[in-house]
Amino acid sequence: MTTDDAGVGGRKGPDGMRPERPGMDAGPRIGKVAVIGAGTMGRGIAQVAAMAGHEAVLCDVDAGQLERALAGIKATLDKGVRLGKVAGAARDEALARLAGTGGLGEAVEGAELVIEAVPEVMALKKKVFAEVEAVAGAGAVLATNTSSLSVTGMGAGLRSPDRFIGLHFFNPVHIMALVEVVRGERTAPATVERSLTFVRGLAKEPIVVTDSPGFASSRLGIVLGLEAIRMVETGVASPADIDKAMVLGYRHPMGPLRLTDLVGLDVRLGIARYLHESLGSDAFRPPALLERMVAEGRLGKKSGRGFYEWDD
């Protein structure tokens, strides 16, 4: 996986650089998009929305973070231009459509879609959505980028849970083509349709998932990762050879153990515990080796050592 590509996602638009105009064929067109939280994910989502022709307003309670996010988006697009992946005019137009603010009300006012990307804490997200709902227009779609929390539970306190949905983007947002569109118990079909149109307009590929722990991607990806760890544990093969089996035998772009090192062993352990608890299947029981490695601080790339040694 690389962050060298500053394009707008998996599918190219008609001019080879930008996707089709978004939101033309299902429900009222989504014009302005407000993104709440300007961290890793929020800045990426704002970038692809602006590149796809939306007015995009990024909002964060931390002014320094907001400044870094806007500078980061500009740097990524500049790099895209240098690499010939983004047209100079497309970058300039996208940056002209992008704004930042510390005021949630200002960000949400007039937005047809609000995407929340604040930290993965249910109480914080619910608080943000209560504030968002108080200022959002009646027709606005409200979406969470949560990677694990219940979409149904998060939307339960809203006056209009029918317009609430999960839009699970992947990191780095401008590179990864997949978006999981997560349908909560009370999400209206029209909300799903408008979200699908929006996602396709970003030149990304949506899949529709019924709200359940791990959605589709984490649930399946974690099983593979945990089984690979159990195979290391029982001496079936070395980490490098297990990864090679998936890369060369199944054409995965990267083996499950290398991916575990990149994501962080602690992060994967947390997800495994949560899925084991919520789904009750032994497939998600954290292997003893994973528990031990995390306890020893072998967290993968970020700590310099996981299943592999990392120099930088």
106 within 8 A of 24, measured Cβ to Cβ = no
Using the rule CB under 6 A, which residue among 17, 29, 65, 72 binds ligand NAD?
65
The burial of 73, by beta-carbon neighbours within 10 Å (0-12 exposed, 13-18 middle, 19 or more buried), is given as: buried
Using the rule CB under 6 A, which residue among 7, 13, 37, 201 binds ligand NAD?
37
Query: Crossing angle, helix 217-233 and helix 288-295, to 10 degrees?
Result: 90
- Residues 304 and 289: their CA atoms lie apart, in Å, by 18
Using the rule CB under 6 A, which residue among 16, 84, 119, 189 binds ligand NAD?
119
Least distance in Å: CB of 216 to ligand NAD? 13
Least distance in Å: CB of 189 to ligand NAD? 24
117 within 8 A of 45, measured Cβ to Cβ = yes
Least distance in Å: CB of 240 to ligand NAD? 25
Smaller CB separation from ligand NAD, 25 or 62: 62
Least distance in Å: CB of 237 to ligand NAD? 29
235: which residues sit within 8 A by CB, 6+ positions away?
none
169: which residues sit within 8 A by CB, 6+ positions away?
41, 44, 45, 145, 176, 179
Among positions 156-195, residues that touch ligand NAD (CB under 6 A) are: 169-171
Q: Given the rule CB under 6 A, which of 56-64, 156-164, 197-205, 270-278 is the region that contacts ligand NAD?
A: 56-64
Smaller CB separation from ligand NAD, 242 or 299: 299
56-59 sheet: strands from edge to edge:
98-101, 56-59, 33-36, 113-116, 141-144, 164-169, 178-183, 205-210
Q: Using H for helix, E for strand and C for coil, what is the string for 68-102?
A: HHHHHHHHHHHHHHHCCCCCHHHHHHHHHHEEEEC
Using the rule CB under 6 A, which residue among 11, 29, 40, 74 binds ligand NAD?
40
Least distance in Å: CB of 68 to ligand NAD? 9
> In terms of Cα–Cα distance, which of 221, 219, 234 is closest to 287?
234
Least distance in Å: CB of 71 to ligand NAD? 14
Smaller CB separation from ligand NAD, 61 or 156: 61
Count residues near ligand NAD (CB under 6 A): 24
Please report the DSSP string for 272-295 in residue order: HHHHHHHH--GGGSPPHHHHHHHH
Smaller CB separation from ligand NAD, 126 or 200: 126
- Tokens 């539970």: give the residue: 153
Q: Can residue 128 be called a binding residue for ligand NAD (CB under 6 A)? A: yes
Q: Given the rule CB under 6 A, which of 58-66, 86-94, 207-215, 244-252 is the region that contacts ligand NAD?
A: 58-66
Residues in contact with ligand NAD by CB under 6 A are 36-42, 59-62, 65, 117-120, 124, 128, 145-147, 169-171
